[in-house]
Amino acid sequence: MPPSDRRIWEHPILTFKRGRKIRFLFEGREVEAYEGESVAAALYAIGIDVFSYSAKLGRPRGPFCMIGKCSSCFMIVDGIPNTRTCIEPVREGMRVERQRGLPPVPNVPPPGAEEEEVLEADVAIVGGGPAGLAAALELAKRGISVALIQDHFKLGGQLVKQTHKFFGSKDLFGGLRGFQIAEEMASKLASFPNARVLLQSFAYGVFRGGWLGVASRSKLYRVKPRALIVASGASEQYLAFPGNDLPGVMGAGGAQTLMNEYGIKPGERALVVGSGNVGLIVSYQLLQAGVEVRAVLEIMPQIGGWFVHAAKVRRYGIPILTRHTIKAVWGSERVEGATITEVDERFNPIPGSERDVDCDLVLIAIGLQPDTRLFAQARAVMRWIPEVGGPVPLRTRYLETTVPNMFVAGDSSGIEEATTAIIEGRIAALSVASRLLEGSRAARAEEEAEKLLRFLWDEYRASPLLSRARRGKELATVSVEELEELRRRFPPEVSFG
Amino acid sequence: MVSEIPSYRRSGVISVEELRRLGLLPPEDRLRKGPVAILECPEMIPCNICVSACPSGAIRMDRIIDVPRVDWDKCVGCGNCVAICPGLAAFVVDLSKPGKAYVTLPHELLPRPREGEEVTLLSRDGREVGKGRVVRVWERNRTLVVTVEVPEELAMEVRAIWVRR
């Protein structure tokens, strides 16, 4: 293999099953990739750091989120600009070019794009991560027909890149590794003929009359579900510092996608900003992938994540520097180093405390922001709640929002974690099932929802260390009466069912 | 307010004294009797995987967020908790042989340690504290459970290994 190949062939936890080799054109030259890789992953693997040059200043840009949420990996693919190459699978003979400035958008629709189909489903679910999958399973096993809409070309969401074993209890997949949970849920869903999965499909909007618009690669779908569950996840938050747009500055999740999903080393020497669970876990995973972790920075006086996750990286000598933050990153077309600084009680940099760190990868792990675009577009009543990462739709404990029969679950309801996303997905689905089913089956669904609600609020979220997220979720939760009042004050323009 | 933060939440390293104060260490005479589990899990994590994994029913927890408590008399030091703990926070320590100690720890890095091999011993803060010999390696779901023979005085210090080849 060429020396520039960043692919990992041996890993303590993962076995990378690579598909057949295929060839495509990058900037007119033939390059190799493995079937199943995304364009972004395949290019990164062969040492390509710069994916585009920014529109105004012509600054180099490389991948950041790797999950189809940001715009950092835009490239021109087969003549179509602004293609999110991180969720675009490689295909034999495809043409990929770096984007410079703002390329013209072709006004000829791609083949087949004019076809339209009305999709029949009782329930539409947006998002194929832990919450969406859990909701789909809960509905499908009750005989309710489901359309699961996923923008990525595979299911699992962020579970697919989690190599660590999950906390929780046995009946909530605890003890299994994240990617194993994704595999288990996805394969179980495939056994239900009443669950239809639309991959590489984007739910672009909700419309009057209770329609959901979905753009797939081959056609446009319209769905008029009796209920809509949105579990669209979250995206990494950015941090402002000079050089933060340089290739090699990446979201922690972006690095996880590269190394754990595709088996590609994201760098050689990493600096991690943020010591929440994501920052700590990604540091441990970097170590497992053979990447040196120079330090984990934490602006607060204490570590953000669980102690046990911190202990895992400290044992191998990775320093966690509390009261520290990043000041700048430098490099020409890739990170070549960073300056870090200590901060005082008010989080202001302490002059003279700056230090340079030799690194080629800077991972931002300062938090996530719920992806609530569909709720904003549907004009659901939302509230800005910093404890859960930003604006989220107000909802009842049964997870229905002010848009009738539009439910929310998982990180898009406020940032928590995968296990709570699974629980919320199930609660939303059971709330829907109790409305769609009749008699004793409806009653049973309701009972199960209540049981899960009690577990979630009274047991799981009772830990004092989860009090911040719990408080955020409390602030986002209204009573059924309050929801009715909100609907009177802000009459919904769209409703389902 | 800062003073209320336990020191392990600032450093990511818990001291033996802190573990003892929290009641997470078995008494000395129990350690002399044979292998016993030590769960270095001081926070209220919503997780009870070790409870269901323990074949001796030696780990107690009333609510899912409780800190796990080992019944030192029931525990046989089998290491199932070491294999399954999602936080990699379970260890087994054996001080029953004079002059020697055995520490069983989780290991998820390459290269895989081999039985009989000499490895570098690491403390909770990543310091290299000596050399030890691997006496047993087994695996569950890709977590290796490694027992190393270490100098007796390091029994409560060694919590990881480096395999250098």
- State whether CATH 3.40.50.1100 applies to domain A116-235+371-489: no
Angstroms from B36 CA to nearest CA on chain A: 20
Contact A125, A229 (CB under 8 A): yes
Residues of A in contact with B89 (CB under 8 A): 308, 311
Nearest CA in chain A to B65: A463
Q: Is the pLDDT of residue A85 over 50?
A: yes
Average pLDDT score over residue span A270-287:
98
Each residue's pLDDT tens digit, A458-480: 999 999 999 999 999 999 999 99
Nearest CA in chain B to A15: B142
What is the pTM for the complete model shown? 0.96
Angstroms from A359 CA to nearest CA on chain B: 20
| φ and ψ of A75, to 5 deg | -145, 170
Task: Compute the distance between CA of residue A207 and CA of residue A493 in angstroms, rounded to an integer.
Answer: 9
Angstroms from B31 CA to nearest CA on chain A: 23
Task: Compute the distance between CA of residue A212 and CA of residue A201 in angstroms, rounded to an integer.
Answer: 12
Angstroms from A389 CA to nearest CA on chain B: 21
What pLDDT was estimated at residue A269? 98
Q: Chain B contact for A303, CB < 8 A?
A: yes
Angstroms from B43 CA to nearest CA on chain A: 7
Q: ipTM score of the complex?
A: 0.97
Q: Are the beta carbons of A165 and B141 separated by less than 8 Å?
A: yes
Each residue's pLDDT tens digit, B79-133: 999 999 999 999 999 999 999 999 999 999 999 999 999 999 999 999 999 999 9
Each residue's pLDDT tens digit, A224-277: 999 999 999 999 999 999 999 999 999 999 999 999 999 999 999 999 999 999
Each residue's pLDDT tens digit, A334-361: 999 999 999 999 999 999 999 999 999 9
Q: Are the beta carbons of A309 and B87 separated by less than 8 Å?
A: yes
Q: Is the pLDDT of residue B2 over 90?
A: no
Q: Chain B contact for A301, CB < 8 A?
A: yes
Which single residue is written with the structure tokens 């669209």?
A232
Each residue's pLDDT tens digit, A169-182: 999 999 999 999 99
**Helices A130-140 and A178-190 meet at what angle, rounded to 10?**
30
Q: Are the beta carbons of A311 and B124 separated by less than 8 Å?
A: yes
What pLDDT was estimated at residue A2? 46
Average pLDDT score over residue span B16-31:
97
Domain A249-368's class? Answer: alpha beta
Task: Compute the distance between CA of residue A251 and CA of residue A273 in angstroms, rounded to an integer.
Answer: 10
Task: Compute the distance between CA of residue A379 and CA of residue A146 in angstroms, rounded to an integer.
Answer: 24
- The answer to whether the peptide bond before residue A130 is cis (omega within 30 degrees of 0) is no
Average pLDDT score over residue span A397-404:
98
Residues of A in contact with B53 (CB under 8 A): 175
Q: How confident is the model at residue A417 (pLDDT cuts 50, 70, 90)?
A: very high
Task: Compute the distance between CA of residue A468 and CA of residue A186 in angstroms, rounded to an integer.
Answer: 31
Average pLDDT score over residue span A138-161:
97
Q: Chain B contact for A320, CB < 8 A?
A: yes
What pLDDT was estimated at residue A112? 67
Angstroms from B29 CA to nearest CA on chain A: 27
Nearest CA in chain B to A321: B11
Q: How confident is the model at residue A42 (pLDDT cuts 50, 70, 90)?
A: very high
What pLDDT was estimated at residue A452? 98
Q: How confident is the model at residue A105 (pLDDT cuts 50, 70, 90)?
A: confident
**Helices A418-436 and A130-140 meet at what angle, rounded to 10?**
30
> Going by DSSP bridges, is the β-strand pair A195-198/A211-215 parallel, antiparallel, or unpaired?
unpaired
Question: Identity (one letter) of the amino acid at A189?
Answer: L
Residues of each domain in chain A carrying CATH 3.10.20.440: 21-100
| Of residues A175, A301, A461, nearest to B5 (C-beta) | A301
Residue B65 domain boundaries: 2-162
At A149 the three-state DSSP class reads strand
Each residue's pLDDT tens digit, A150-206: 999 999 999 999 999 999 999 999 999 999 999 999 999 999 999 999 999 999 999
> Going by DSSP bridges, is the β-strand pair A195-198/A146-149 parallel, antiparallel, or unpaired?
parallel
Among A477, A438, A447, A480, smallest CA distance to A461 is for A477
CA atoms within 13 A on the CB side of B47: 27
A21-100 CATH: 3.10.20.440
Which single residue is written with the structure tokens 């989690």?
A162
Nearest CA in chain B to A171: B49
Q: How confident is the model at residue A218 (pLDDT cuts 50, 70, 90)?
A: confident
Residues of B in contact with A307 (CB under 8 A): 8-9, 12, 14, 42-43
Overall number of domains in chain B: 1
Q: Are the beta carbons of A308 and B41 separated by less than 8 Å?
A: yes
Question: In the predicted model, what is the mean pLDDT of chain A?
Answer: 96
Nearest CA in chain A to B157: A315
